[in-house]
Amino acid sequence: MGGPESPRPIATVDVVLLTLGPAGLEVLLAKREREPFRDRLALPGGFVHTDADADTGQTALRVLRDKTGLAPPYLEQLYTFSGAVRDPRGWSLSVVYFALLPEQVVRPAVVRDGCTLCAVERLPDLPFDHGRIIAAALTRLRNKAAYSSLPAFLLPETFTMDDLRQVYERVLGTRLDRSSFRRKIEEQGFFRPVEGERRTGAHRPAQLYRLAEARLAEFDRTI
Protein backbone atom coordinates (compact mmCIF):
# COMPACT_ATOMS: atom_id res chain seq x y z
CA MET A 1 0.00 0.00 0.00
CA GLY A 2 2.83 2.39 0.75
CA GLY A 3 2.70 5.38 3.02
CA PRO A 4 4.97 8.28 3.82
CA GLU A 5 8.22 7.46 5.56
CA SER A 6 7.87 10.59 7.72
CA PRO A 7 5.06 11.37 10.16
CA ARG A 8 2.02 13.12 8.82
CA PRO A 9 1.89 16.87 9.46
CA ILE A 10 -0.53 18.39 11.95
CA ALA A 11 -3.61 19.48 10.01
CA THR A 12 -5.62 22.41 11.28
CA VAL A 13 -8.14 24.92 9.97
CA ASP A 14 -8.13 28.59 10.94
CA VAL A 15 -10.77 31.16 10.11
CA VAL A 16 -10.31 34.87 9.45
CA LEU A 17 -13.70 36.40 10.12
CA LEU A 18 -13.76 40.05 9.12
CA THR A 19 -16.38 42.64 9.83
CA LEU A 20 -16.64 46.38 9.40
CA GLY A 21 -17.09 48.39 12.56
CA PRO A 22 -16.97 52.11 13.26
CA ALA A 23 -13.18 51.89 13.52
CA GLY A 24 -12.80 50.08 10.22
CA LEU A 25 -12.17 46.44 9.46
CA GLU A 26 -12.09 44.20 12.49
CA VAL A 27 -11.08 40.58 12.85
CA LEU A 28 -12.53 38.04 15.25
CA LEU A 29 -9.99 36.66 17.72
CA ALA A 30 -10.58 33.99 20.33
CA LYS A 31 -8.73 33.20 23.51
CA ARG A 32 -6.90 29.91 23.07
CA GLU A 33 -8.19 27.18 25.35
CA ARG A 34 -5.16 24.90 25.03
CA GLU A 35 -1.42 24.89 24.71
CA PRO A 36 0.51 26.12 22.90
CA PHE A 37 -0.17 29.81 23.52
CA ARG A 38 -2.94 29.02 25.99
CA ASP A 39 -5.00 32.10 26.95
CA ARG A 40 -3.47 34.16 24.17
CA LEU A 41 -5.70 35.74 21.52
CA ALA A 42 -5.48 34.02 18.13
CA LEU A 43 -7.56 33.23 15.08
CA PRO A 44 -10.32 30.74 15.85
CA GLY A 45 -9.15 27.36 14.65
CA GLY A 46 -8.93 23.70 15.38
CA PHE A 47 -7.83 20.30 14.24
CA VAL A 48 -9.42 18.65 11.27
CA HIS A 49 -11.68 15.96 12.75
CA THR A 50 -11.38 13.17 10.23
CA ASP A 51 -14.15 11.28 11.96
CA ALA A 52 -16.62 14.16 11.85
CA ASP A 53 -15.81 16.72 9.13
CA ALA A 54 -16.66 15.96 5.51
CA ASP A 55 -13.95 18.36 4.31
CA THR A 56 -11.99 21.36 5.58
CA GLY A 57 -14.84 23.74 4.71
CA GLN A 58 -16.95 21.81 7.21
CA THR A 59 -14.14 22.06 9.74
CA ALA A 60 -14.18 25.83 9.31
CA LEU A 61 -17.94 25.99 9.84
CA ARG A 62 -17.74 23.71 12.88
CA VAL A 63 -14.97 25.76 14.46
CA LEU A 64 -16.85 29.01 13.97
CA ARG A 65 -20.09 27.54 15.23
CA ASP A 66 -18.43 26.12 18.34
CA LYS A 67 -16.55 29.29 19.24
CA THR A 68 -19.11 31.92 18.25
CA GLY A 69 -22.37 30.33 17.20
CA LEU A 70 -22.02 32.09 13.84
CA ALA A 71 -22.67 30.65 10.36
CA PRO A 72 -21.34 33.13 7.80
CA PRO A 73 -23.06 33.27 4.40
CA TYR A 74 -19.73 34.13 2.81
CA LEU A 75 -16.91 31.68 3.39
CA GLU A 76 -14.08 31.01 0.98
CA GLN A 77 -10.83 29.16 1.24
CA LEU A 78 -8.00 31.68 1.45
CA TYR A 79 -4.70 29.80 1.41
CA THR A 80 -2.92 26.93 3.07
CA PHE A 81 -0.03 27.92 5.30
CA SER A 82 2.48 25.22 6.05
CA GLY A 83 5.95 24.49 7.30
CA ALA A 84 8.16 23.00 9.91
CA VAL A 85 8.42 26.05 12.14
CA ARG A 86 5.08 27.83 12.20
CA ASP A 87 3.74 25.68 15.05
CA PRO A 88 5.85 24.67 18.07
CA ARG A 89 4.20 21.23 18.05
CA GLY A 90 5.91 20.41 14.77
CA TRP A 91 5.42 20.37 11.02
CA SER A 92 1.97 21.77 10.46
CA LEU A 93 -0.42 22.77 7.82
CA SER A 94 -3.31 25.17 8.26
CA VAL A 95 -6.04 25.48 5.68
CA VAL A 96 -7.27 29.02 6.23
CA TYR A 97 -10.79 30.19 5.45
CA PHE A 98 -11.96 33.71 5.07
CA ALA A 99 -15.43 34.86 6.17
CA LEU A 100 -17.35 38.12 6.11
CA LEU A 101 -20.25 39.11 8.31
CA PRO A 102 -22.05 42.37 9.10
CA GLU A 103 -21.10 43.95 12.38
CA GLN A 104 -24.71 43.76 13.56
CA VAL A 105 -24.46 39.98 13.46
CA VAL A 106 -20.96 39.53 14.86
CA ARG A 107 -21.07 42.01 17.74
CA PRO A 108 -23.73 40.11 19.73
CA ALA A 109 -21.89 36.81 19.27
CA VAL A 110 -18.72 38.29 20.66
CA VAL A 111 -20.15 38.81 24.11
CA ARG A 112 -19.58 35.10 24.56
CA ASP A 113 -16.59 33.78 26.40
CA GLY A 114 -13.18 34.69 25.13
CA CYS A 115 -14.07 36.15 21.74
CA THR A 116 -13.20 39.66 20.77
CA LEU A 117 -13.16 41.92 17.74
CA CYS A 118 -9.90 43.66 17.00
CA ALA A 119 -9.26 46.50 14.56
CA VAL A 120 -6.92 45.18 11.90
CA GLU A 121 -4.82 48.33 12.17
CA ARG A 122 -4.16 47.68 15.86
CA LEU A 123 -3.57 43.96 16.15
CA PRO A 124 -1.81 42.60 19.18
CA ASP A 125 1.18 40.35 18.72
CA LEU A 126 -0.34 37.07 17.54
CA PRO A 127 0.88 33.49 17.93
CA PHE A 128 1.85 31.19 15.04
CA ASP A 129 1.87 33.06 11.72
CA HIS A 130 -1.56 34.52 12.38
CA GLY A 131 -0.37 38.06 11.73
CA ARG A 132 0.71 37.08 8.24
CA ILE A 133 -2.52 35.16 7.70
CA ILE A 134 -4.64 38.19 8.55
CA ALA A 135 -2.52 40.31 6.22
CA ALA A 136 -3.21 37.83 3.41
CA ALA A 137 -6.94 37.96 4.13
CA LEU A 138 -6.94 41.76 3.95
CA THR A 139 -5.08 41.69 0.66
CA ARG A 140 -7.61 39.22 -0.73
CA LEU A 141 -10.54 41.32 0.45
CA ARG A 142 -9.13 44.55 -0.92
CA ASN A 143 -8.24 43.00 -4.27
CA LYS A 144 -11.54 41.29 -4.76
CA ALA A 145 -13.53 44.30 -3.57
CA ALA A 146 -12.50 46.22 -6.66
CA TYR A 147 -14.29 43.87 -9.04
CA SER A 148 -16.94 41.94 -7.15
CA SER A 149 -19.90 42.11 -4.85
CA LEU A 150 -17.72 40.99 -1.94
CA PRO A 151 -18.05 44.13 0.24
CA ALA A 152 -21.81 43.68 0.30
CA PHE A 153 -21.35 40.71 2.62
CA LEU A 154 -20.22 43.19 5.26
CA LEU A 155 -23.68 44.76 5.19
CA PRO A 156 -26.99 43.51 6.61
CA GLU A 157 -29.42 41.90 4.20
CA THR A 158 -30.85 45.16 2.97
CA PHE A 159 -28.98 48.38 2.49
CA THR A 160 -29.16 51.66 0.62
CA MET A 161 -27.00 52.60 -2.35
CA ASP A 162 -25.08 55.00 -0.12
CA ASP A 163 -24.45 52.28 2.48
CA LEU A 164 -23.05 50.14 -0.30
CA ARG A 165 -20.84 52.86 -1.69
CA GLN A 166 -19.47 53.66 1.74
CA VAL A 167 -18.55 50.03 2.36
CA TYR A 168 -16.66 49.93 -0.93
CA GLU A 169 -14.95 53.19 -0.03
CA ARG A 170 -13.91 51.95 3.38
CA VAL A 171 -12.65 48.61 2.14
CA LEU A 172 -10.82 50.08 -0.83
CA GLY A 173 -9.65 53.17 1.00
CA THR A 174 -10.69 55.46 -1.84
CA ARG A 175 -13.45 57.94 -2.52
CA LEU A 176 -16.03 56.89 -5.12
CA ASP A 177 -18.30 59.26 -7.00
CA ARG A 178 -21.94 58.71 -6.02
CA SER A 179 -23.30 58.99 -9.54
CA SER A 180 -20.67 56.87 -11.25
CA PHE A 181 -20.90 54.25 -8.54
CA ARG A 182 -24.63 53.90 -8.92
CA ARG A 183 -24.32 53.69 -12.71
CA LYS A 184 -21.69 50.96 -12.52
CA ILE A 185 -23.53 48.96 -9.88
CA GLU A 186 -26.84 49.16 -11.71
CA GLU A 187 -25.44 47.98 -15.01
CA GLN A 188 -23.75 45.00 -13.36
CA GLY A 189 -27.10 44.07 -11.89
CA PHE A 190 -26.12 42.00 -8.94
CA PHE A 191 -28.00 44.09 -6.48
CA ARG A 192 -31.74 44.37 -6.81
CA PRO A 193 -34.11 46.86 -5.22
CA VAL A 194 -36.47 45.44 -2.63
CA GLU A 195 -39.79 46.82 -1.51
CA GLY A 196 -39.30 49.43 1.15
CA GLU A 197 -37.27 52.53 1.83
CA ARG A 198 -35.23 53.85 4.69
CA ARG A 199 -36.37 57.12 6.25
CA THR A 200 -33.77 58.70 8.50
CA GLY A 201 -34.38 62.41 8.67
CA ALA A 202 -35.71 65.51 7.03
CA HIS A 203 -34.94 64.39 3.52
CA ARG A 204 -35.89 62.04 0.73
CA PRO A 205 -35.99 58.38 1.82
CA ALA A 206 -33.56 55.89 0.28
CA GLN A 207 -34.44 52.83 -1.76
CA LEU A 208 -33.37 49.57 -0.16
CA TYR A 209 -31.41 46.96 -2.10
CA ARG A 210 -30.21 43.44 -1.51
CA LEU A 211 -27.83 41.03 -3.19
CA ALA A 212 -29.51 39.50 -6.23
CA GLU A 213 -27.64 36.24 -5.64
CA ALA A 214 -26.47 34.71 -2.39
CA ARG A 215 -23.04 34.03 -3.86
CA LEU A 216 -20.21 36.31 -4.93
CA ALA A 217 -20.56 37.98 -8.34
CA GLU A 218 -17.67 39.43 -10.29
CA PHE A 219 -17.70 42.46 -12.58
CA ASP A 220 -16.94 42.10 -16.26
CA ARG A 221 -13.31 42.68 -16.97
CA THR A 222 -11.45 43.16 -20.18
CA ILE A 223 -7.82 42.88 -21.07
In the complex, the residues that contact a copy of itself under the rule CB under 8 A are: 1-11, 34-35, 47-52, 54-57, 77, 79-80, 82-84, 89-91, 93, 95, 145-147, 168, 172, 176, 181, 184, 219, 221-223
Does 202 participate in binding DNA (rule CB under 7 A)?
yes
How many residues touch DNA under the rule CB under 7 A: the total is: 24
Which of 91, 190 has the CB closer to a copy of itself?
Answer: 91
> How far is residue 55's CA from residue 12's CA, in Å, rounded to a whole number?
12
Quote the Cα angle for 148-184-190, to 5°.
50
Cβ atoms of 172 and 141 within 8 Å: the answer is no
* One character per residue 160-189, x = contact with DNA (rule: CB under 7 A): xxx-------------xxxxx-xxx--x--
CB of 53 to a copy of itself, least distance (A): 8
Does 155 participate in binding DNA (rule CB under 7 A)?
no
Q: Which does 182 bind (CB under 5 to 8 A by kind): a copy of itself, DNA, none?
A: DNA
CB of 105 to a copy of itself, least distance (A): 25
Contact positions toward DNA, by CB under 7 A? 160-162, 176-180, 182-184, 187, 197, 199-207, 222-223
